[in-house]
Amino acid sequence: MSQPQHGVSLASVYQARRRIAGQVVRTPLIRSQALSERFDAEILLKLETQQPTGAFKLRGAANMIAALIERHGRDALAAGVTTASTGNHGRAVAYAAARLGVPATICLSRLVPANKVAAIEALGAEVRRVGESQDEAFGEVERLVCERGMTLIPPFDDPRIAAGQGTIGLELMEDAPDLDRVIVGLSGGGLLGGIGAAVKAIRPEANITGVSLAHGAAMWESLQAGRPVAVEEVASLADSLGGGIGLDNHCTFELVREVMDDHCQVSEEAIAHAMVDILEHEKLLVEGAAAVGLAALAAHGLDVRGERVALVLSGNGVALETLDRARAMVGR
């Protein structure tokens, strides 16, 4: 079987699982009694919040770094690794690099919350705050690659990153092989694309539903335009879903276009309600990007009655002031 143009196949996802074994957690898939009753469906929660770095991003970062060492040797990373990030990917790269004794420099826009900056610095990585968007931060990454010979670990647009995130899909299919739907936050497309590639290869009839911000949804706007486009990045409770997809996107745009069945955009109010609901009823602290699946169910009236549905709770990197803002928005 030929390799797809975007470079992500079921075989590459299985290869990723082999590489990252022992570095990441095989996260639980738990049934939510409250949500199952509320939506007349079986609602399952995939707890990527239990990763060592608090988010799914560790899977992709660990896979890419391991793949580079596997192919080129450890000396290939002697100058260090670098990336731009809205927080979770930077923390994942810093964590994976620290385990291997590789220097890491993480470039962040000024929109990234202080708690995520501190978490990255605590892992020993150098942090650079540059510009007001992820695209601007990426300009600094490009300079580090050109001038210092550092190795880029992209946040999403690489088949090795997407394949690493796709290991979530393998776990979903093993724990719930009869899933009808997976609802996933959509930003750069590595998470949804990787999960979708694995799930669709094993269970083609499963529905992959993407959820984006109401404003600044770069991947969705690009899909509508039929090509990658730039959008203005805006502050959001779901800050991890911000940022562009790159005008030269070579992997995730095609991957998402291939595997995503439907899509919702959710408001800040819907995200706030979902964050508070998950905290109050599930006793789980999640960031806004992790709550958008529930926001889509609650605000868009997706008809999931009788279905077996997995919501990917992608991370727990929420600042207390952000949670307080969400609670104030819903009056609780």
Phi, psi of 186 (to 5 degrees): -125, 120
Tokens 């959820």 — which residue? 211
Instruction: Note if 314 is an active site residue.
Output: yes
Q: Which residues is 128 bridged to in the sheet?
A: 107
d(CA 167, CA 14): 7
Instruction: Note if 9 is an active site residue.
Output: no
- Out of 9, 32, 46, 57, pick the active-site residue: 57
Phi, psi of 95 (to 5 degrees): -65, -50
d(CA 269, CA 263): 18
d(CA 190, CA 164): 9
d(CA 75, CA 109): 30
User: Distance from CA of residue 103 to its chain's centroid?
Assistant: 23
226 burial level (CB within 10 Å; 0-12, 13-18, 19+): exposed
User: Distance from CA of residue 221 to its chain's centroid?
Assistant: 18
292: number of CA atoms within 13 Å, CB side? 32
**Signed CA dihedral, 52, 120, 74, 4: sign only:** positive
d(CA 173, CA 195): 10
Let me know: does 178 contact 206? Beta carbons within 8 Å.
no
126-129 and 181-185 as β-strands: parallel, antiparallel, unpaired?
unpaired
Token representation of residue 154:
């992209």
Q: Which residues is 126 bridged to in the sheet?
A: 105
Position 64, amino acid: M
115 burial level (CB within 10 Å; 0-12, 13-18, 19+): middle
Catalytic residues: 57, 314
